[in-house]
Amino acid sequence: MENGGGNLDVQIEALLNVEKQTRQSGDVAGTRKAVNDILQLCFDARAWKTLTDQIVLLSKRRGQLKQAVQAMVQQAMQYIDQTPDLDTKVELIKTLNSVSAGKIYVEIERARLIKKLAKIKEEQGLIAEAADLMQEIAVETFGAMAKTEKTAFILEQVRLCLDRQDYVRAQILSRKISPRVFEAETSKEKKKPKEGESIIEEPPADIPSLLELKKIYYQLMIRYHSHSNDYLEICRCYKAIYEIPSVKEDPSQWIPVKYLFFVYIFCFSHSPVVHKVLCMHICLT
């Protein structure tokens, strides 16, 4: 609900003057505080339309500091889940996405925004639109994104392609993930970045661990290989899932996995291709 419009406009105008002065003098901390104070005023008043208008206005001001834009986007993203309805949520996400487009210093934030918007599209049954949205972002090029978040994002791209039965693109996207990534040491302490290297951002709390992502990856690969009845690859996927410690230690998980492994081994051994190879081998010997 928008309220106290007159008073809010006066307060915003005063802060816009402060923002102008700090921006023109190159005061990064001051500019960042001014833009965040403006957004907070709008949020406290639940003036959502004013909030989106100010985000656009501030981002387009002459010589706007990238640190201010980054701070503004990051702060506004915290308001997304507190919007009063779906239309307001989508409008805020789209506004932030538009402001972030083409700016490397907010590329991770934009990826997270696209993921939120794709989730909404999927919940509305618009799978193709959700998949197209996710494919706009090439997170494999993001040096500052955590490995787990990057992998989770690509797996979402693969899943949506499988959901829309786009198996060719699903395969292309899946190749961006090397299975070796799941074998990395997770227990080692994080190394401090060397001079010139990107600082790796912490992934959001809802991003699965590397071993959980390994399971998701092979489950998606099973879906992909099932489409072409590639029983051998399906067996390899089940074997990889079985070797995950959390699966191997839990009978409720490893028993069905092992059962399906042997089912597909049986299917593989009785496939026409295998029979043909065996016959050729017998003939040659």
- Tens-digit pLDDT profile for residues 198-242: 678 889 989 999 999 999 999 999 999 999 989 889 999 999 999
pLDDT (tens digit, 9 = 90+) per residue, 157-178?
A: 999 999 999 999 999 999 999 9
Cα distances from 93 to residues 150, 183, 187, in angstroms, run 20, 35, 36
Of the given ranges (81-85, 98-102, 271-275), which has the lowest mean pLDDT?
A: 271-275
Which candidate, 42, 64, 68, places its Cα nearest to that of 53?
42
Q: Give the pLDDT of residue 189.
A: 41
Of the given ranges (129-133, 227-231, 279-283), which has the lowest mean pLDDT?
A: 279-283
Handedness of CA 231, 232, 237, 242 (dihedral sign): positive
Of the given ranges (122-136, 155-169, 255-269), which has the lowest mean pLDDT?
A: 255-269
Rounded-to-integer distance, Cα 86 and Cα 57, Å: 23
Three-state SS at 125: coil
Please state the pTM of the whole predicted model. Answer: 0.85
| Band of pLDDT at residue 259, cut at 50, 70 and 90 | confident
Rounded-to-integer distance, Cα 108 and Cα 205, Å: 15
pLDDT (tens digit, 9 = 90+) per residue, 63-76?
A: 999 999 999 999 99
